Structure 1
Amino acid sequence: MKLRMVSAAAAAALALSLTATACGSGDGDKSSAGSGDKKITVGIKFDQPGIGLKTPDGKYTGLDVDVAAYVAKQLGYKPSDIEWKEAKSADRETLLQRGDVDYIVASYSITPERQKKVDFAGPYLLAHQDVLIRADDNSIKKPEDLNNKKLCSVTGSTSAQNVKTKIAPKAQLQEYGGYSECLTGLENKVIDALTTDDAILAGYAAQPEFKGKFKLGGFKLSNENYGIGVQKGSELKAKINTALEKMVSDGSWQAYVNKNLGPAGYKNEPAPKIGVIVS
């Protein structure tokens, strides 16, 4: 496990750069958040239970929703001031670059490639690629046990390919259109395991209809540093980092994790330190 951190000198240089360019920020960068703007637009997932979900009655639930709302409050906004916008994985950088959202909290892993296009506050969660299996299945105790098993992930995902190429070359890949389809297949014993980030898996497994049916493998196949995306050069990054630090120190962070992911037996890593990326 490797840690990488922005140096103090680099951080100081960035701060000077932001100060010099603040007046020229684009329209999409509400760097004065909380100082008079009536609304703030936040991107979240709409289809990930436990992480970011829009319910049939129009409400929003999940860890990312709680984190995003906490940050908005620290920026000076009331819950009614938040405009939630769906941020699908493929659209996140575009939404930020166009100024369609002020920030994005959507199981958004910090990667070098993405950092070329947008900035990240955080991270606020260290997740890992893992597998979800049936609670009564004792045949998968280590990653190599996935050989000759039917392994499901969504079409286009790199998670299952990662397992097949690096860990269990004899795994039988099954690609479905969505995670709910994989879960149905897992429940009906059509497939043996579902793979993606453990936080996402825990969110699904924590839903009332799946209580006690599934368990996480706990394999930690990769490190996924979830951050809050903002426009490149936005002053919101520093303000959000301050909010995240307070969220951890006052106990809210752990409460949100327990509420949204705890029912699935999710064993979270300690809250990450701001600016430290685990690779």
Structure 2
Amino acid sequence: MVTLTRMCRSGRGGRIRRAAAVALVAATLLPLAASCAAGTSIVDKDSLVIGVKPDQPGLGMKEANGKFTGFDVDVASYIARKLDKPVRFIAAPSSQREKMLMGGSVDLVVATYSITAERKTKVSFGGPYYVAHQDTLVRAGESGVTNVRDLRDRRLCQVTGSNSWRRVKEERKIPVALVPAGSYSECVSGLAEGKVDAVSTDDLILAGFATSGTKIVNAPFSDERYGVGIRTGDIDGCEAVNKAITEMYQDGTAKRLLQKWFAKSGLALSFTVPQFEGCG
């Protein structure tokens, strides 16, 4: 500061140097200001854009009229109401969820988005708002698959952007033949057409797709913590989301929504608040 003061007293040359110094400070601060603007919390926004699944029955479906319906959509709507924000829903395919959050095309993602260590290096999570369990869907006449180990040497559907296949092939080292697909609806179609032998993912997802021609093995083998995806660094937003989820369970809304969408599935549903990840 002493040097800058002396420069400012040295006449016209000092004024030039002072202007240069001010310009330098401004140039330094502008990126910081832009960074702060880009990281604005969801609690400061006038409205929210939330990514949901468009093709998972019972969880997130885009109807012919363009409206999104399902458990995840109802949860997202509840959170938006608690934040006192109008909301617009858009489709968030599994392979695009991180990119959509990081790029700012969505404010939140509520789309069967399991919390994993790898994903947490790119985005943050509120919740979880539910803990599902990975299971397996096979054709109704299949008697040779009673648990995940029985998938050995069978064709397993692999959805781009999903981690479910990794829990079978990589974590449990079960030798399966992976058949790529763009979505779980494509997987279920492949199962019906005989292109794959099994679809393994969260039980809530499988429950939505199960038909008279398929059956869920009912041998769960993992915990899938469904989180609310949020941009990294938005601690205020994360805490507001967690508060909303807690209230959703306390006022009975979570139980009502779970029963609304999955009571007929035969799954053992949980109605207690899941243990949160924390927003630090």
Q: TM-score, normalised to structure 1's length?
A: 0.75
Distance in 1, matches of 2:191 and 2:94, equals: 24
**Residue in 1 that maps onto 2:252:** 251
Q: How does 1:32-181 map to 2 (within 5 A)?
A: 32=44, 37=46, 39-77=47-85, 81-154=86-159, 158-160=163-165, 162-165=167-170, 167=172, 169=174, 171-181=176-186
Partner AA of 1:160 in structure 2: W
Distance in 1, matches of 2:79 and 2:138, equals: 34
Is contact 1:93–1:118 with CA below 8 Å preserved after alignment?
yes
Is contact 1:124–1:274 with CA below 8 Å preserved after alignment?
no
Is contact 2:153–2:175 with CA below 8 Å preserved after alignment?
yes
**1:64-87, Cα deviation, whole Å (9 max, x unpaired):** 10100011111113xxx3111222
**1:148-193, Cα deviation, whole Å (9 max, x unpaired):** 4443333575533542455574544433444233323433555432
Q: TM-score, normalised to structure 2's length?
A: 0.74
Partner AA of 2:242 in structure 1: N
**Residue in 2 that maps onto 1:14:** none
How far does residue 239 in structure 1 lie from its aligned partner after superposition?
1.1
**Residue in 2 that maps onto 1:11:** none
- Which consecutive residues of structure 2, in runs of 5 or more, have no partner in the other structure? 1-35
**1:90-109, Cα deviation, whole Å (9 max, x unpaired):** 33233223333221111111
SS class of match (1:232): coil
Identify the structure with bigger relative contact order (alpha carbons < 8 Å, sequence gap 6+).
Answer: 1
Partner AA of 1:215 in structure 2: K
Is contact 2:137–2:200 with CA below 8 Å preserved after alignment?
yes
Is contact 2:94–2:160 with CA below 8 Å preserved after alignment?
no
Is contact 1:28–1:99 with CA below 8 Å preserved after alignment?
no
Distance in 1, matches of 2:42 and 2:68, equals: 23
Aligned residues: 243
Distance in 2, matches of 1:94 and 1:136, equals: 40
How far does residue 224 in structure 1 lie from its aligned partner after superposition?
1.7
Distance in 2, matches of 1:190 and 1:97, equals: 35
CA RMSD of aligned residues (A): 2.8
**Residue in 2 that maps onto 1:222:** 222
% identical aligned pairs: 38
Say which of 30, 44, 57 aligns to 2:42: 30
Determine whether 1:240 maps to 2:241.
Answer: yes
Distance in 2, matches of 1:272 and 1:135, equals: 34
**Residue in 1 that maps onto 2:14:** none
- Larger helix share, 1 or 2: 2
Is contact 1:133–1:216 with CA below 8 Å preserved after alignment?
yes
Is contact 1:42–1:104 with CA below 8 Å preserved after alignment?
yes
